[in-house]
Amino acid sequence: MLLIYCPHCLESREEEEFSYGGEAHIARPLDPENLSDEQWGDYLFFRKNPRGIHHEMWYHATGCRRYFNVTRNTLTYEILESYLVGTKPQITEVGV
């Protein structure tokens, strides 16, 4: 089981309290009406799935009910950092 640090609550809690929200730092298209179906499908469904360092969004479902980001190593499951949405991670190397 993962222990996840919530930067809003300022404490680590068990993984069961959180919901995985997918890949972090996905920017919504500025003009979605002018995207082709293929481009819109790529935005909605295609995500990176790297081996190694990955930035993820998590939701503290039974705590503060807020989203935040986590940098996690997908090979070891080690959580390297937690940080607020809208801020940049300290660890920027992604994937292997």
Quick: pLDDT tens for 42-96: 999 999 888 999 999 999 999 999 999 999 999 999 999 999 999 999 988 765 5
Residue 7, pLDDT > 90, answer yes
pLDDT above 90 (res 1): no
Q: Strand 11-14 and strand 53-60: pairing?
A: unpaired
Q: Report yes or no: 69 and 58 within 8 Å, Cβ to Cβ.
A: yes
Q: Give the angle 6-8-14 at the CA atoms, nearest 5°.
A: 25
* pLDDT for 95: 56
CATH number of 3-84: 3.30.2270.10
Could you tell me if 32 and 75 are in contact, meaning their C-beta atoms sit under 8 angstroms apart?
Answer: no
